[in-house]
Amino acid sequence: MPTITYMPDNKSVEAKEGETILQTSLRLGIPHTHVCGGNGRCSTCRVIILDGLEHCSSRNRSELGLADRLHFSPQIRLACQTSIKGHVTLRRLVLDAADVELTSQLTPDKTPIAAGKEKKIAILFADIRNFTAFAESLPPYDVIHVLNRYFDQMGKVIDHNGGYIDNYMGDGLMALFGVDDAHEPTLRAVRAGLEMLDAVEQFRAYLENSYAMSFQIGVGVHYGEVVLGSIGAKDASRMTAIGDAVNFASRIEQANKEYGTRLLVSEHAYDEIRQQALVGREFADTALEGKSGRYKLYEIVGLKS
């Protein structure tokens, strides 16, 4: 019978033939982090094999891909993908009370998204152009007032189109579409972006009348896969999106400055809306700051409907 000794607990248990190390842990109530649900899509269930590596199954394709990407030594294995045929001594990720408390987020009575969930969504970034110069000419109270009024109007537009503001970054914001409602998230994000541009045009009249100055915004939209999960201390955590797709959307928004555009979308986003989109310009073979490779971007000036 295969057996596992967990360290630093120094606890030995019997494993069933064919089950993975993670399945053994969960069956016997041993806390073991597995954010992706044991699908070999993250490394949080990884263990260090202290003894008995020869009794472990060979790495499968899922584990090989992650091991190569993260430069794992042979002793570091994914518990969700590794089964054993003899005695193995290992050390897992969960080591103390704080880790156990975090692991409790993964139990069935918790919302699954708290732990992490992969999903394709539309990500929108918006940023005020030259806001530093605008803010430097006003008292701090007025700056806060203008930002609050601006964010309030943008929030109403985003909410109306089925998205929500995930994060504020100074004078910028990040909004997500498709987290709860998967119906046409990119179309709703682009529609929101166009309506945000219209709302800012109306807002400009207020700014010019009140402060004799105004501003423009840039919007970037990308459609891609992210990990949705709760981030932060237990009593102050919030759901957010993490992944390369988020960074990509931010870089697309910043590209508006270089090309003198107001709303740019990625090629993946455009593929989702090509039947409805009115394209102003196409930017092929584009370099984005902080990203390797070349990309195709599209300027969206309207929607056919």
Q: Which of 79, 118, 140, 305 is nearest to 225 (CA)?
A: 118
**Stretches in the chain below the pLDDT threshold 50:** 105-114
Q: Is residue 218 a contact partner of residue 209, using CB atoms and an 8 Å limit?
A: no
Q: What confidence score (pLDDT) does residue 34 get?
A: 82
Q: What confidence score (pLDDT) does residue 97 get?
A: 58
Give all domains of the chain, ordered by start, each with its CATH number: 3-110 (3.10.20.30), 114-303 (3.30.70.1230)
- pTM across the whole model: 0.73
Token pair 């994914």 in the structure block, residue: 78
Q: Which of 130, 135, 172 is nearest to 151 (CA)?
A: 172
Q: What confidence score (pLDDT) does residue 186 get?
A: 97
Q: What confidence score (pLDDT) does residue 110 get?
A: 44
Give the sign of the dihedral formed by CA 242, CA 244, CA 245, CA 250: positive
Q: What confidence score (pLDDT) does residue 109 get?
A: 43
Q: What confidence score (pLDDT) does residue 236 get?
A: 63
Q: What confidence score (pLDDT) does residue 189 get?
A: 98
